[in-house]
Amino acid sequence: MVNTRVTLSGLTLDNPVIPASGTFGYGYEFAELYDINVLGSFSFKGTTAQARFGNPTPRIAECTAGMINSVGLQNPGVDKVIVEELPKLRQVFHKPVIANVGGFSFDEYAEVCRKLDGEEQVGLFEVNVSCPNVHGGGMGFGTDPAVAAEVTRRVKAVTTKPVYIKLSPNVTDIAAIAKACEDAGADGISLINTLLGMRVDLRRKRPVIANTMGGFSGPAVFPVALRMVWQVYEAVSIPIIGMGGVTSADDVLEMMLAGATAVEVGAANLVDPTAAKKIVEGLPAAMERYGIDDLTTIIGGAHHG
């Protein structure tokens, strides 16, 4: 019998498979298709202080081996998430959940995390620093190590639960940003968010996405994500949640060997709503195929070969 359990900052998961934020709603939509308690956990929809309608449409563009989205953090706002979404989530998911948090100022990040910190089912925070800083000229919080570190400090000051910083790959040195977050008190790092991409409609001769560019995700980004997980593992000593183009149990093992303790599944959920369930079910056989008895023994294993 293989052991699929992993631990993130004291939070033990039955397995390392976690549907990624923005691809799994608040869970209850998928609970109509299967028992989502088979998952290690899941990261719920990115939540901001105020309700957001999101970006103008069209927001989605298909690509070879992937997709581009520019949804724009559409969500009902943290107060409604607490009052309306989390009670429905509790009815179908009986494990700690990951709260994905977005913000457009330091104060907003802190406010949202402070409010969610009191929710018993929230096991840890995943703080998305890819949002544009409205007080900093629109650049993402995650493009500057000092700014990412300040977000980390602000959130850690108002929370009692582990804080994982979700990093953007659209930077020159992701390891430096990860290290700055660790030095500022982050309990873990989550990466990668989407790459920046675009498509042009040949008939209209205009960009497909209303915002011109959006986040590129899907199987095509897996090698980039794997490389960045590898680099961050070399730079920090805190746990990593790896993601980016994961579609199979083999991908999960590869991510873990590169340095991830747990692995998120994103775009695959939009192609097949049961993708994460199938990965969980396929994990024991994949472990046996590669002679792995215990997942905790392979975390970062490729660095020591």
What is the rounded distance in angstroms from the CA atom of residue 63 to the CA atom of residue 194?
Answer: 14
Per annotation, catalytic residue among 63, 113, 131, 181: 131
Among candidate residues 128, 133, 143, the one with its CA nearest the CA of residue 46: 128
Side-chain-facing half-sphere of 276: CA atoms under 13 Å: 33
What is the rounded distance in angstroms from the CA atom of residue 305 to the CA atom of residue 302?
Answer: 6
- Whether 233 contacts 256, CB under 8 Å: no
Using CA of residue 49, residue 78, residue 142, residue 208, what is the dihedral sign?
A: negative
Verify whether residue 131 is a known catalytic residue.
Answer: yes
> 44: which 2 tokens?
């719920």
Q: At what angle do helices 174-183 and 145-156 cross, to 10 degrees?
A: 30
Give catalytic residues, as residue numbers. Answer: 131
